[in-house]
Amino acid sequence: MATLPPALRLSEIQKSFNGVPALDGVSLEVAAGSVHGILGENGAGKTTLMNIIAGLLRPDSGSMEIMGNAAPVGSVRESRAFGIGMVHQHFKLADNQSVLDNIVLAVSKSLWSRRGRGVLQNIDYWCRELNWTLELQKPVRELGVGQQQRVEIIKALCGGGKILILDEPTAALTPAEVDELSSAVAGLANAGMTVLFISHKLQEVTRMCRVISILRRGKLVYSGGVAGLSMQQIAEKMVGAKVDVPRLVQPLGHAESRVLLELQSVDYRIGKREPPLLSQINLRVHAGEILGIAGVDGNGQSELAAVISGTVDPVAGRIMRSGAARADAPANSACIPEDRHKEALVPALPIVSNLLLRKYRHRPYVRWGFCRFGKWRTSAAALMRQYDIRSRGIDDAVCTLSGGNQQKVVLARELSDAPEWILAVNPTRGLDVGATAFVLRQLLDARARGAGIILIHGDLDELLSVSDRVAVMRGGKLLATPWPQFTRELIGRMMLAGA
């Protein structure tokens, strides 16, 4: 019997940006009908490689074959013609358009093509294959994260149908939604689809994938079976060194410690006639503890973070920060926002400027109204060493750094002055295992120094690993749990509406 050619074969792929190599001679084979994991640190070249496969980038050199046939590179249309579809980590959906229009816009030349039966038949076929239901006329903005991801996957399948690339597909999903996605991916593979699965969550990779390929600094350092490899061994292959993910060994008693932040019966809404986005929120954060807040995205976490940080004012209730009622966050607080690009960094500015955003007007960085740039540079260089920010120098624009190093810039700026209390929102989303360990270690170190920390996080496993107490946001309400005398499954169930 003739042996089937690999679904995908890459040969000596090279790609550089501004003279810096992102991929260095990557050769890879992916078997047809398999779920193949693609792993690596932030900046290792994973997304660059996937964008080349999907036709979004053109390599400097190298070739690609699909099912033994030479495939052109650098063309999205040609890649789709060969059956390649990609679901990006950040969804590419038009929120104000319907589900059907989003799919049609992606796979057809004109919205008029939806009047034919081809697109609808294609959607119906894949929905039946996955046992999914889509409300085709519903605007995307009214869908939850899990439903939006279904739209992205169906869109990719309708445009391709042979090779599906999933980039960090579980980053914002609940445990139940992760299980559902896992079953869907397995079903696709059983039906002959080839899936490239990119994730930083090693537990999911080892459960879903039988074969993995690991990139490190643009080079392929491992490609082979998962069987026999522990998650620790995989992490070490990714980083090139031993990785110890920190965990909270023993929650501290907080009954006698000082209350640093308190919300009393807080309500928040945008319009007078709109239902409240936050309703009767009560919480306390004590010195030397981490209060973890879990929940499915869109249940009020962003609004709660905005109220705590002082970005918006509640319409009712009282907020006590550092023992005093005040509208804004005090100077001895820190905020690690969810979107570092929009809320924490000025991407076009150099690292040195981003590191000093909070204190460039303070001594010793200013004297008699004049900036002391020498002090800026000395302080920035010291922070880069302390927080292991990897770049060519302090004058590099922040936008040129990997996601993990960008997050380290935020941490260095926010935590270096030992704040009294810290608000951290999804601080490890999209980060590799090494950067994740670094971020969690910094939060635990701050806790050990006596800081009170509010950790709003969509990754339930990470949240539970470092939290003294856990509450759940659901429908704008904050529900207490008896964690750690509570199971992960019960908390996951509480996160779902109607549980």
Residue 3 located in a structural domain:
no
Residues 291, 146 share a domain? no
Give 453 or 460, the one with higher predicted confidence. Answer: 453
Residue 441 located in a structural domain:
yes
Residue 227 located in a structural domain:
yes
- The answer to whether residues 403 and 42 touch, using CB atoms and an 8 Å cutoff, is yes
Residues 366, 468 share a domain? no
**Two tokens at 303?**
């609004």
Residues 6+ apart with CB under 8 A from 343: 337
Domain termination residue (choose one: 376, 396, 416)? 416
pLDDT for residue 289: 92
DSSP letters, 34-61, are -EEEEEE-TTSSHHHHHHHHTTSS--SE
Instruction: Please check the confidence at residue 284 and state whether its pLDDT lies above 80.
Output: yes
Residues 6+ apart with CB under 8 A from 68: 5, 6, 9
Residue that the structure tokens 């954060």 belong to: 285
Percent of the chain clearing pLDDT 70 (strictly above): 88
What integer is the mean pLDDT of 369-391? 78
Residues 421, 407 share a domain? no
Domain termination residue (choose one: 400, 416, 432)? 416
pLDDT for residue 499: 43
pLDDT band at 113 (very low <50, low <70, confident <90, very high): low
The domain containing residue 233 runs over which residues?
Answer: 8-239
Residue 338 located in a structural domain:
no
Count of domains forming the chain:
3
Chain segment 186-201, per-residue pLDDT in tens: 888 888 889 999 887 7
Residues 369, 287 share a domain? no
Q: In Å, how far from its chain's centre is CA 422?
A: 20
Number of CB atoms found within 10 A of residue 78's CB: 13
Q: Is the dihedral of CA 292, 295, 301, 304 positive or negative?
A: negative
Residues 50, 115 share a domain? yes
Kindly report the CATH number assigned to the domain that includes residue 494: 3.40.50.300
Residues 6+ apart with CB under 8 A from 83: 66, 160, 161, 162, 163
pLDDT band at 325 (very low <50, low <70, confident <90, very high): low
